[in-house]
Amino acid sequence: MARKIAGAEVLLKVKKGEELIEVAGQQGMTVNLSADTIDTTDKTSGGWKTAMAGLREWSIDQDVFYTVGDESNKLLLDAYLNREAVVVDVLAGKDGEAGAVHFTGDAYITSFPFDFSLDNAASVSMSLSGASALTVEVTAETTP
């Protein structure tokens, strides 16, 4: 049976060694999927533009409360400072649930701004840009 999910159920995890760890202090997250088109318009297209699919790309925008001493915050900051890719993992739905979408891939942190506002908790609004193909798996419906 189809069900709606709350954004609070969807967490960003990063790989530390062989283990996936949840990023601490998560708030908003956006997984961006986009693609280019290649113009194929010619004189026989009747005055209409035509196109074909081009290259695809992906990124993740993640807002977190900065959590002092947390291993995920340290891992992400170290990856940014050392210009190293991180393995990211996002599951929308429950593991094994029919229709759940699972995103995994390597990404570079391209933006890591700290916000230390007077009237807010310290936060980071990081951007991760895909460094590899994004693996997208949709769990098939199971038959009872």
Residues 87-131 pLDDT 10s: 999 999 998 888 999 999 999 999 999 999 999 999 999 999 999
**Which residues are 22's β-sheet partners?**
13
Residue type, 61: D
Does position 142 have pLDDT exceeding 90, yes or no?
Answer: no
142 or 107, which is more confident? 107
Euclidean distance between CA atoms 128 and 134, whole angstroms: 12
What separation in angstroms does the CA of 89 have from each of 46, 75, 94, 128, 136?
A: 46, 15, 13, 12, 10
Give the residue extent of every domain in the chain: 12-35+52-138
